[in-house]
């Protein structure tokens, strides 16, 4: 029998809870170690999953020669240092989004990946949902023709993740841009076929988040008043092929979320042969731009709740089959460049060119 990949997970808080079932379902991988700086969390979660190897220091876990794959689920500030250390130690690395808050760190991770010859993957689980997979397959058939414009948003109304890892720049690198903007931006660039972004005009706002009595509707949690990240951002992005994108993200906005939930996320793509909307996957195909149109909805498989698990399964499969990373860091670099450009444009009040 072929030996399974030994996985060590760093940061076993909220999101790790969605990775663990993925590793458990993979025929190619097995979790052998957990790491968390909080001993209470480390022992509670390790006991739950019967994991004997427990570390409070990530670098000790990374040094363990038994570990083949390191799965990084810590706050953003630790992504680059731990990924680079793990790659240098000869491990494959799956890293939560954002791969890193800045393009400079992503470039360092790519260099470490190149030196190691191992795989590095960003955990962009939206790509692994059934609706995204179905739409991507349709777009790869050229259904929309030349995609020349996109509108993408991920808008929450009073739904702020109040944990320190999200609301202080030193831990996160930014607010909703970095937290949820990376999801919709990554999905949009992937669907558009990764045109190269060349410039961005952006604004950020923090008008509601510091108001007295502001709370997050998730558990009616008060919002710490000393947080230093934006609550809203909007951007206009130009690509080298002439295509454009309008992006909007928020944790707090007086937005009417359809269905009364806490979050409205949509992507609209417009091409010469048709248009498409995600996540409903409505297709608007047109043989005559003004007269004939056809509305269809792509058939979706019943559930995409396992998208997080699917990304772990896909990563293990890629490693054992010698295939490329399912979400390579090169595809996270333009995401980081756009968001970095958005922040720089918001600060300068001008459009910025992206290198």
Site residues for ligand NAD per CB under 6 A: 10-15, 35-38, 41, 58, 73-76, 78, 96-97, 123, 125, 163, 165, 179
Task: For ligand NAD, give the closer residue by CB, 15 or 298.
Answer: 15
Task: For ligand NAD, give the closer residue by CB, 68 or 186.
Answer: 186
What's the order of all strands across the beta sheet hosting 5-10? 53-55, 29-35, 5-10, 69-72, 92-96, 120-123
C-alpha separations of 193 from 26, 99, 135, 267, 302 in Å:
29, 20, 13, 14, 26
DSSP state of 177: I
The burial of 69, by beta-carbon neighbours within 10 Å (0-12 exposed, 13-18 middle, 19 or more buried), is given as buried
Task: For ligand NAD, give the closer residue by CB, 167 or 245.
Answer: 167
Task: For ligand NAD, give the closer residue by CB, 96 or 340.
Answer: 96
What's the order of all strands across the beta sheet hosting 274-278? 292-297, 282-288, 274-278, 263-271, 147-156, 244-250, 232-239, 197-205, 352-353
Residues paired with residue 7 on neighbouring β-strands, in sequence order: 31, 69
Q: Taking the complex as a whole, how short is the minimal distance between the CB of residue 163 and ligand NAD, in angstroms?
A: 5
Q: Taking the complex as a whole, how short is the minimal distance between the CB of residue 288 and ligand NAD, in angstroms?
A: 41
Name the closest residue to ligand NAD (Cβ). Answer: 13
Task: Report how far residue 318's alpha carbon sits from residue 321's, in angstroms, rounded to the nearest whole number.
Answer: 5
Pairing of strands 197-205, 352-353: antiparallel
Q: Taking the complex as a whole, how short is the minimal distance between the CB of residue 189 and ligand NAD, in angstroms?
A: 16
Q: Taking the complex as a whole, how short is the minimal distance between the CB of residue 263 and ligand NAD, in angstroms?
A: 11
Strand, coil or helix: what is 212?
A: coil
Task: For ligand NAD, give the closer residue by CB, 78 or 270.
Answer: 78
Residues paired with residue 270 on neighbouring β-strands, in sequence order: 149, 275
Task: For ligand NAD, give the closer residue by CB, 72 or 112.
Answer: 72
Q: Taking the complex as a whole, how short is the minimal distance between the CB of residue 106 and ligand NAD, in angstroms?
A: 14
Q: Taking the complex as a whole, how short is the minimal distance between the CB of residue 290 and ligand NAD, in angstroms?
A: 40
């Amino acid at each position: 029998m072929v030996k399974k990949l030994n996985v060590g997970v760093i940061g076993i808080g909220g999101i790790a809870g969605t990775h663990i079932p993925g590793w458990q379902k993979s025929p190619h991988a097995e979790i052998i170690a957990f790491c968390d700086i909080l001993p209470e969390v480390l022992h509670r979660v390790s006991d739950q999953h019967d994991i004997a190897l427990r570390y409070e220091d990530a670098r000790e876990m990374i040094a363990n020669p038994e570990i083949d794959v390191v799965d990084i689920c810590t706050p953003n500030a630790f992504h680059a240092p731990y990924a680079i250390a793990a790659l240098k130690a000869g491990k494959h690395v799956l890293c939560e989004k954002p791969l890193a808050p800045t393009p400079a760190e992503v470039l360092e991770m790519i260099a470490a990946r190149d030196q190691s010859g191992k795989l590095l993957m960003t955990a962009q689980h939206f790509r692994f949902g059934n609706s995204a997979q179905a739409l991507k397959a349709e777009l790869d058939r050229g259904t929309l023709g030349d995609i020349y414009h996109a509108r993408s948003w991920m808008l929450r109304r009073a739904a702020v993740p109040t944990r320190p890892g999200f609301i202080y720049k030193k831990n996160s690198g930014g607010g909703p841009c970095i937290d949820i903007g990376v999801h919709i931006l990554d999905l949009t660039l992937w669907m558009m076929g990764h045109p190269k972004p060349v410039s961005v005009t952006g604004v950020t706002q923090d008008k509601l988040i510091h108001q007295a009595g502001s709370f997050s509707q998730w558990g009616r949690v008060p919002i710490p008043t000393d947080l230093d990240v934006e609550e809203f951002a909007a951007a206009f992005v130009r690509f080298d092929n002439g295509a454009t994108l309008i992006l909007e993200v928020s944790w707090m906005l007086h937005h009417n979320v359809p269905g009364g939930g806490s979050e409205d996320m949509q992507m609209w793509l417009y091409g010469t042969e048709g248009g498409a909307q995600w996540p409903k996957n409505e297709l608007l195909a047109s043989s005559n731009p003004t007269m004939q149109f056809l509305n269809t909805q792509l058939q979706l498989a019943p559930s995409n709740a396992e998208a997080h698990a699917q990304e772990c399964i896909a990563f293990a499969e890629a490693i054992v089959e010698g295939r490329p990373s399912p979400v390579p860091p090169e595809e996270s670099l333009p995401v980081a460049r756009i968001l970095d450009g958005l922040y720089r444009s918001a600060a300068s009040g001008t459009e910025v060119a992206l290198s």
